[in-house]
A and B are shown apart, each in its own frame.
Chain A
Amino acid sequence: DAKTTQPNSMESNEEEPVHLPCNHSTISGTDYIHWYRQLPSQGPEYVIHGLTSNVNNRMASLAIAEDRKSSTLILHRATLRDAAVYYCILRDVDNFNKFYFGSGTKLNVKP
């Protein structure tokens, strides 16, 4: 299964944009890129996902490189409630829900 690489931690100031990078150099053509986050003492929650094109939703934007070997999750204005561990995951069309979460990026948001 394809793996992802993320920085262990990042820091941001409140109200500023945050760009969380993810490398997935072994991605295959059918792998979807998913992002989840886990707030303290909670289960992970879905953030966004995409295949080839950039995606936007109410929570964030996902920018996917043209060769799909990397992606960036963009939080447009970080709030204290965005402090969480962010996981970048590849999901193979043939592997259903077999997620591999990796270690994720712990985002700290400073007031």
Chain B
Amino acid sequence: KAGVTQTPRYLIKTRGQQVTLSCSPISGHRSVSWYQQTPGQGLQFLFEYFSETQRNKGNFPGRFSGRQFSNSRSEMNVSTLELGDSALYLCASSYSGSSYNEQFFGPGTRLTVL
């Protein structure tokens, strides 16, 4: 079974631009979550989608948004990039997102904002 894939793996943008990151979950998984990882803040939850609906959201500004498609693939968008948005963005999928389901993480997208 193929794992979670994220594209692109690396990205360099400048302040003010916007960016879209993509995540393909494991086949059959319907829940996709996004996380931001920085040296200072560690791993922080962004949001979670299940069956094309956002079920949960972390404490991030509205510049961070996402969506999920009918095939469970998900995209995350960050508008008006700031230097502080430089981070590793991780996507994780699970079968149903229930608290007893394990999550499978992708390798992440490394975003650098200049």
Contacts and interface: CB of A to CB of B under 8 A. Distances in A.
Interface string B90-114: 1010100111101111111000000
A49 to B, nearest CB: 7
A92 interface: yes
B31 interface: yes
A40 B30 CA distance: 28
Given A96-B56, A99-B33, A44 B105 contact: yes
A93 B99 contact: yes
Contacts of A30: 99
A43 B99 contact: no
B62 to A, nearest CB: 18
Q: Is the interface of B mostly helix, strand, loop or mixed?
A: strand
B106 A97 contact: no
Interface in A20-63: 30-32, 34, 36, 42-46, 49, 51
Interface residues of A, number: 26
Nearest to B4: A43
Nearest to B94: A97
B2 to A, nearest CB: 15
B4 to A, nearest CB: 8
Interface in A59-111: 87, 91-93, 95-104
B97 A99 contact: no
Contacts of B103: 36, 44, 46, 97, 99
Contacts of B64: none
Given A43-B108, A101-B43, 10 more contacts: A36-B103, A42-B107, A43-B92, A51-B100, A93-B99, A95-B99, A96-B97, A97-B97, A98-B48, A99-B45
Interface of B: 4, 31, 33, 35, 42-45, 48, 50, 55-56, 58, 90, 92, 94, 97-100, 102-108
What 3 A-B pairs are tightest by C-beta distance, nearest first?
A43-B105, A101-B43, A91-B99
